[in-house]
């Protein structure tokens, strides 16, 4: 079984390549252009993969507010064209989406499942939701995977460092950080997401899934745990989203329920604290090796 991974240079893409091993076909931005329908068709027809995993996205949440054309070109129209190619090749499509398709329910306090009604707050979430609909409508053999708060050993593509790396850097440089404490979600280690995603492939249980680590926290609580596990003394101050002042609104609560995936008998996700522990250990080994 051959699996083409679009966005192979990103933090999730590189973990997918690691899990898939010899089955993987790495496709970076130089090899394939998601916003070019001819590029998608030409490259995928030549490779004729059994599965296409799209790990590429326009994920600059704040920039999307002023660059809606770019966000929709990649996250929606690109997925539409990719879905058409996969349908014509009769191959499976794995499309990643986001917890940011939710957010309108201000007083929400229970995890969203796959039947929950979406309500994005910003351009990024809306563009990803449109991509979901295109993938589900156009490509019969689809897995649409919503996830949340990704961090991985390979950084975060065009966004630079992920949240964990940003906190560690700021904590060491300044000794204090101010972190939003009114947005609750589930940080997710890309290595765990990659493993769970590859488990889905081949099940023929096509559809929409939520995949994250288990549990939930605010970004402030996540930062405190990062510093605790890393053994760094940092003065961590909780602030509100309004005080932080980001251009794009974020969901106050966007925890995702993973029971649908668990019912497939593929195992339950581990806690975000345990995943963070393994990330920090792997990060330390990577730094020691100088890679």
User: Which residues are part of the catalytic machinery?
Assistant: 124
Beta bridge partners of 145: 96, 209
Q: Which of 62, 275, 5 is nearest to 150 (CA)?
A: 275
Cβ(155)–Cβ(165) below 8 Å: yes
Residue 284 DSSP SS3: helix
Query: Exposed, middle or buried: residue 178 (CB in 10 Å: 0-12, 13-18, 19+)?
Result: middle
Q: How many helices (H) and strands (E) does the chain have?
A: 12, 12
- How far is residue 217 from each of residues 25, 136, 223, 225, measured CA to CA in Å? 35, 30, 10, 10
Q: Dihedral through CA 85, CA 81, CA 258, CA 280, nearest 10?
A: 100
Report the C-alpha gap between 291 and 286 in whole angstroms.
Answer: 6
Chain centroid to CA 21: how far? Answer: 20
Q: Which of 98, 9, 7 is nearest to 53 (CA)?
A: 7
Render the burial of 105-133: b for 16+ CB within 10 Å, e for the rest: beebeebbebebebebbbbbbbbbbbbbe
Which residue is listed with tokens 């680590």? 213
Residue 103 DSSP SS3: coil
Residue 172 DSSP SS3: helix
């Amino acid at each position: 079984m051959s699996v083409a991974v679009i966005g192979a240079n990103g933090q999730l893409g590189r973990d997918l390549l690691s899990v898939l091993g010899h089955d993987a076909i790495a496709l970076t931005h130089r090899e394939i252009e998601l916003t070019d329908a001819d590029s998608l068709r030409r490259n995928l027809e030549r490779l004729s993969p059994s599965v296409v995993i799209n790990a590429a996205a326009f994920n600059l949440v704040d920039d999307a507010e002023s660059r809606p054309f770019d966000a929709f070109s990649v996250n929606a129209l690109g997925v539409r064209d990719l879905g058409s190619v996969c349908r014509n090749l009769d191959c499976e499509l794995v499309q990643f989406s986001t917890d940011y398709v939710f957010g309108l329910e201000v007083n929400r306090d229970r995890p969203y499942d796959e039947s929950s009604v979406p309500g994005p707050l910003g351009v990024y979430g809306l563009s990803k939701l449109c991509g979901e609909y295109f993938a589900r409508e156009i490509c019969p053999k689809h897995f649409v995977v919503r996830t949340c708060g990704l961090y991985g050993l390979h950084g975060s593509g065009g966004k630079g460092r992920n949240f964990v790396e940003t906190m560690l850097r700021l904590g060491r440089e300044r000794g204090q950080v101010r972190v939003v404490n009114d947005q609750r979600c589930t940080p997710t280690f890309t290595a765990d997401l990659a493993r769970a995603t590859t488990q889905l492939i081949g099940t023929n249980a096509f559809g929409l899934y939520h995949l994250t680590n288990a549990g939930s926290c605010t970004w402030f609580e996540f930062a405190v745990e990062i510093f605790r596990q890393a053994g760094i003394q940092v003065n961590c101050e909780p602030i509100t989203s309004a005080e932080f002042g980001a251009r794009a609104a974020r969901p106050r609560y966007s925890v995702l329920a993973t029971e649908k995936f668990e019912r497939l008998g593929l195992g339950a996700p581990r806690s975000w604290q345990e995943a963070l522990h393994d990330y920090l250990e792997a990060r330390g080994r990577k730094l020691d090796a100088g890679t």
